[in-house]
Amino acid sequence: MRAVLLGAPGSGKGTQGERLSQQYGIPQVSTGDLLRAAVAAGSELGKQAKAAMDAGELVSDQIVIGIIRERLTQPDAAKGYILDGFPRNFTQAQALDEMLAALERPLQAIILLDVNFEVLMRRLTGRRTCQACGAIYNIYFSPPEVDHRCDKCNSDQLVQRSDDNEETISNRLRVYEAQTAPLVDYYEAQGKLYKVDGEDDITKIAKNIGQILETVR
Ligand code: AMP
Q: What's 2-26+79-116+167-216's CATH class?
A: alpha beta
Counting Cα atoms < 13 Å in the Cβ hemisphere of 129 gives 12
Residue 145 Cα to ligand 1 middle (Å): 30
C-alpha span between 86 and 102 (Å, rounded): 19
Q: Which residues line ligand 1 (CB under 6 A)?
A: 9, 31-32, 35, 52-53, 56-59, 64, 85-86, 88, 92, 163, 172
Identify the active-site residue in 2, 19, 127, 128: 127
Torsion, CA 18, CA 85, CA 196, CA 165, rounded to 10: 90
Nearest to 128 by CA among 153, 102, 161, 176: 161
Identify the active-site residue in 2, 36, 71, 88: 88
Q: Is 147 exposed, middle or buried (0-12, 13-18, 19+ CB in 10 A)?
A: exposed
Neighbours of 190 (CB within 10 A): 13
> By percentage, how much of the chain surpasses pLDDT 70?
100
Q: Which atom of ligand 1 is nearest to the CA of 53?
A: 12
- In this prediction, residues 37-53 reach a mean pLDDT of 94
Residue 166 confidence class, pLDDT cut points 50, 70, 90: confident
Torsion, CA 5, CA 8, CA 10, CA 16, rounded to 10: -10
pLDDT at residue 123 in the model: 92
pLDDT at residue 201 in the model: 92
Residue 172 Cα to ligand 1 middle (Å): 9
